[in-house]
Amino acid sequence: MSDNREHTMTERVAQVISDLFSPIVLPAYMMAVAMWLSPLVAVPERTRLVSMAVVVALTAIIPTAVILTLIKLGKVRDVSLSSRSERMVPYVVSILCYIATVLFLRSVHAPMWLCAFYLGAALTSVCAAVITRRWKISAHSSAVGGVAAALVWMGFRGLLLAGSIWWVTGGIILCGLVGTSRLILHRHTPAQVFAGYALGAASVTAMLFLLAN
């Protein structure tokens, strides 16, 4: 009985971690880091809040609304998009939303490194959409891998104003927590999780070095 309770509790914690750091919300978290933990903190607060609201709408609210609509229409079974066949439309929507985010950020003269992150997220989604046709790569680990890569890049460039080593370390630890949660929930194999890390980190790093140097 005790073992069953511990197993249930472990799965609950894994589900909470998986939900709190899902691919839909991580790009919004990254925007918050950019707005309040980088030199962009010098931008007027109203501008930062408006920019944050627009990015949250584009990268989180719109994709979530699309998924919920697909569930209501019976095209998708759950918000986790457990089946590979259910992921294509949400991926396309995410790609379009990331591109719209980049266009918005350019319109408000955001630095290229911030635009590069969202272009990296778009590239990650394009690659994941192609891979998903054959293999269920982890979208969670792709997203968190991209965020961790961006934090490392920002840390090395001196763009994290408050304890950069702690934020970089936290990003790496978060990768472990998210990947482990996906394994505990039996949503992915270790190979799918590590492939996701590699895809997200490589895509974001490539865009940062190509566009933000």
Tell me: pLDDT of 61 over 70.
yes
Ranges of H-type helices in 21-133: 26-37, 45-56, 62-72, 88-107, 112-132
Residue 47's pLDDT band (cuts 50, 70, 90) = very high
What mean pLDDT is predicted for residues 34-44?
95
Q: Could you report how far apart the first and last alpha carbons of the chain are, in Å?
A: 57
Residue 62 is predicted with a pLDDT of 95
Residue 87's pLDDT band (cuts 50, 70, 90) = confident
Predicted TM-score of the model (pTM): 0.91
90-144 pLDDT per residue, tens: 899 999 999 999 999 999 999 999 999 999 999 999 999 999 988 989 999 999 9
Locate 185 and state its tokens: 């929930």
Q: DSSP assignment, residue 213? A: -
Mean pLDDT score of the chain: 91
Tell me: pLDDT of 153 over 80.
yes
- CA 129, CA 109: separation in Å to the nearest integer? 30
Residue 6's pLDDT band (cuts 50, 70, 90) = low
10-32 pLDDT per residue, tens: 999 999 999 999 999 999 999 99
Please answer whether residues 149 and 129 qualify as being in contact, where contact means their C-beta atoms are separated by less than 8 angstroms: no
Compare 9 and 21 and report the one with higher pLDDT: 21
Tell me: pLDDT of 208 over 60.
yes
- CA 123, CA 102: separation in Å to the nearest integer? 12
Q: Which residue has the tokens 């070095």?
A: 209
